[in-house]
Every structure is written in structure tokens, then in C-alpha cells.
């Protein structure tokens, strides 16, 4: 099986995990728009491509898929997810599985306010959210919310612009400066996430690895500890029943007063999937089985409690002549 990994950036450790799990005759093909993306150099072959907004971008990916006999394509950045989802049929026509959600779900995941409304309509517990200052004012007047609150961009990724707001005047200033911000209740409780695999044939969630966050940096958790809870697994299955995912996803949760609340979904390999893989939860094997035409059996909870992950920095060293040319 050959894989096209798009916008690989710094995700070298994930490519190393893929290398360990795929068969010897499988290949990893990586793309990025910069020849200095370190993860490129963990692949069998590299392509420097235009930015994802370039009109020629999808055509170039399709050409690479044909040339390299690609079986599955995925991306490591949020803005590209919806692009792949919108063009799923073009890849399917040439035999490529798109490891990204279906279009409607991709759009919801990228628009946090639309996602809030959709989850609420489908009885999925989530963080209370207001799309405008006027909506918030009505709730505040009715004492449905109090300060502090939390604001974040309606679209975007990597926690950019997300912050706690302590009082009303500061909230008004923040919204006036950036009208794209949404307002959420401040969840002063346990912060956790789960890596989930949705089978590409049965379209059911078949595996999940849950972990509590010990430390979080911009873009995700950097230190985590594993745990298992059947009630969380049941909640994950319910979420995956109302959304159309395909392959790996990363879900963020809060735990308050004995209940789980869905915060966000990144429908791709999460930055902390490395923890799941290190604890023996191998989504790569699940992908390969799907690509071979087989449905994966449910394997929730096939890992140990109390496994700790601690991320650290590493480097790629190359001579100038070994760096790719555009």
C-alpha cells in the first residue's frame, strides 16, 4: 500500500510510526510547499507542491497519486481537510481512499459555531457557545453564563487567538477587534482528548485511545496520561453516529460533574497520536486492513491505563546539496 501524506511539516515522528507499521513493499510519499519541512525527509519520496489555495493544487495531487500508485491520501493540517473532502470523488475515481471526513462533516469541523449548533440539535453534549456579542448579551442578562468566558476564532486551528476573558469590557474590546471570535462558557474542569479510528468500510468507530492532558502547548497536548472509561467510549460512538468521519480523528473533551462534553474535533491524525501508537493502539494497521477490503472489528480499550507521554524536540540534519530543489 502506498500513502500520500500531504502538508507534512514537522510531523516526522508520525511518518516514522507509519514506517514501522506498513509492510516492507509499501511506500510513503510526502508533500509540502517548503523544502525545509523536516518530515519530508522521513518519506521514500518527496514532492514540493504549491500552497493549498493554488488552483492547480488538486490536479497536482491527482498526478502524484497516478504516478506513485497511491492507495490512500491524508493531510496533517486542518485547512486542507475540507479541500480533500470536497474533491473526494476525483480521488475515488482513480482508486485512492481519502482519509478525511465527508464534505458536510468537514465543513462543520472547520466552523466551530456551526458545529456547536449541529451537536446541540443532535443531543451531543458540548461547550455552550455564542456566535455574536448580541447572543451572549441575552444569555448574560438571563444569568445563563458568567465570567470568565473563553473566546476563539470561529475558524482556524492550532489554538491561535484562543484565550480566557475575565470581564465584560475586555470581551467587548476583543470582539470589536476581531469579529470572527466566538464566545464559550469557561470550562474549569478536566481537559482530555481521544484519538479515534472510524472504519472506512463500516463507517463505525472501532478504536479509541483516551488520555488526560498534563501539559498543553500551542497546537495540542505535549504531556498526557492514558485512561479508560466505557462511558467515554459510548459517547464517542454516539458522536461518530451523527457525523461522517473516515479514518483517524482527534477529539477534545471536557469532564465536568460526571459528564463528558465534546469540545472540538480535528478530523485527522492528532499531534498527540504518537502517545496512542506508543501504547500499542495502531491505527495504521487498521487503515491497511481497510485498504485490503476488510472491516475492522471493534477494539476499544486495547491499551493500559497510566501510560505517560512526554514530547520533546528533535532535529533533521542535511547537507545543503541534500535539500530538495523546487
The mean pLDDT value for 88-117 works out to: 97
Q: What is the dihedral of CA 42, 45, 50, 51, to 10 degrees?
A: -30
Q: Which three cell numbers stand for residue 13?
A: 515522528
Q: What percent of the chain has pLDDT over 90?
A: 94
Dihedral-angle region of residue 154 (phi above 0 means left; psi in -120 to 50 means alpha; beta otherwise): alpha
Q: How many helices (H) and strands (E) does the chain have?
A: 11, 15
pLDDT of residue 160: 74
pLDDT of residue 161: 81
Residue that wins the pLDDT comparison between 156 and 321: 321
Considering only CA atoms, which of 130, 104, 114, 126 is closest in space to residue 239?
126
The mean pLDDT value for 25-42 works out to: 97
Q: What does the pLDDT look like over 248-259, one tens digit per residue?
A: 999 999 999 999
pLDDT of residue 228: 98
Q: Which three cell numbers stand for residue 251?
A: 477529539
The mean pLDDT value for 56-76 works out to: 98
Banded model confidence at residue 78, pLDDT cuts 50, 70, 90: very high
Q: Is 192 helix (H, G, I), strand (E, B) or coil?
A: strand
Q: What does the pLDDT look like over 181-195, one tens digit per residue?
A: 999 999 999 999 999
Complete edge-to-edge strand list for the sheet that includes strand 149-153: 129-130, 181-185, 149-153, 163-165
Residue that wins the pLDDT comparison between 178 and 218: 178
Complete edge-to-edge strand list for the sheet that includes strand 247-256: 259-266, 247-256, 190-198, 205-217, 220-227, 308-310
Parallel, antiparallel, or unpaired for β 97-98 and 163-165? unpaired
The mean pLDDT value for 7-12 works out to: 97
Q: Is the pLDDT of residue 60 over 90?
A: yes
18-22, 119-123, 138-142, 316-320: range with lowest mean pLDDT: 316-320
Q: What average pLDDT does the structure give for the chain?
A: 96
Give yes or no for a contact between 248 and 196, defined as CB atoms under 8 angstroms apart: yes
pTM for this prediction: 0.95
Amino acid at each position: 500500500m502506498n500513502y500520500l501524506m500531504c502538508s507534512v511539516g514537522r510531523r516526522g515522528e508520525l511518518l516514522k510510526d507509519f514506517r514501522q507499521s506498513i509492510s516492507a513493499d509499501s511506500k510513503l510519499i510526502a508533500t509540502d510547499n517548503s523544502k525545509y519541512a523536516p518530515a519530508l525527509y522521513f518519506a521514500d519520496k518527496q514532492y514540493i507542491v504549491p500552497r493549498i489555495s493554488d488552483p492547480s493544487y488538486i490536479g497536482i495531487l491527482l498526478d502524484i497519486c497516478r504516478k506513485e500508485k497511491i492507495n490512500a491520501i491524508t493531510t496533517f493540517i486542518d485547512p486542507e481537510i475540507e479541500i480533500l473532502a470536497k474533491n473526494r470523488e476525483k480521488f475515488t475515481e482513480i482508486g485512492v481512499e481519502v482519509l478525511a471526513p465527508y464534505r458536510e462533516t468537514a465543513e462543520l469541523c472547520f466552523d466551530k459555531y456551526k458545529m456547536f449548533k449541529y451537536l446541540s440539535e443532535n443531543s451531543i453534549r458540548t461547550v455552550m457557545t455564542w456566535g455574536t456579542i448580541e447572543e451572549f448579551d441575552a444569555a448574560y442578562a438571563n444569568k445563563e453564563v458568567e465570567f470568565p468566558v473563553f473566546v476563539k476564532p470561529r475558524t482556524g486551528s492550532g489554538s491561535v487567538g484562543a484565550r480566557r476573558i475575565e470581564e465584560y469590557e475586555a470581551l467587548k474590546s476583543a470582539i470589536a477587534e476581531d469579529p470572527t471570535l466566538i464566545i464559550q462558557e469557561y470550562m474549569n474542569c478536566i481537559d482530555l482528548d481521544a484519538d479515534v479510528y472510524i472504519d472506512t468500510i463500516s463507517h463505525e468507530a472501532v478504536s479509541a485511545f483516551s488520555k488526560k492532558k498534563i501539559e498543553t502547548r500551542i497546537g495540542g497536548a505535549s504531556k498526557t496520561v492514558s485512561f479508560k472509561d466505557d462511558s467515554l467510549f459510548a459517547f464517542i460512538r454516539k458522536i461518530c453516529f451523527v457525523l461522517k468521519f473516515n479514518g483517524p480523528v482527534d477529539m477534545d473533551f471536557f469532564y465536568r460533574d460526571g459528564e463528558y462534553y465534546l469540545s472540538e474535533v480535528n478530523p485527522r491524525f492528532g499531534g498527540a497520536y504518537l502517545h496512542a501508537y506508543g501504547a500499542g493502539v495502531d491505527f495504521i494497521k487498521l487503515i491497511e486492513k481497510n485498504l485490503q477490503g476488510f472491516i475492522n472489528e471493534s477494539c476499544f480499550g486495547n491499551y493500559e491505563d497510566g501510560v505517560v507521554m512526554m514530547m520533546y524536540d528533535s532535529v533533521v540534519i542535511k547537507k545543503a546539496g541534500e535539500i530538495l530543489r523546487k
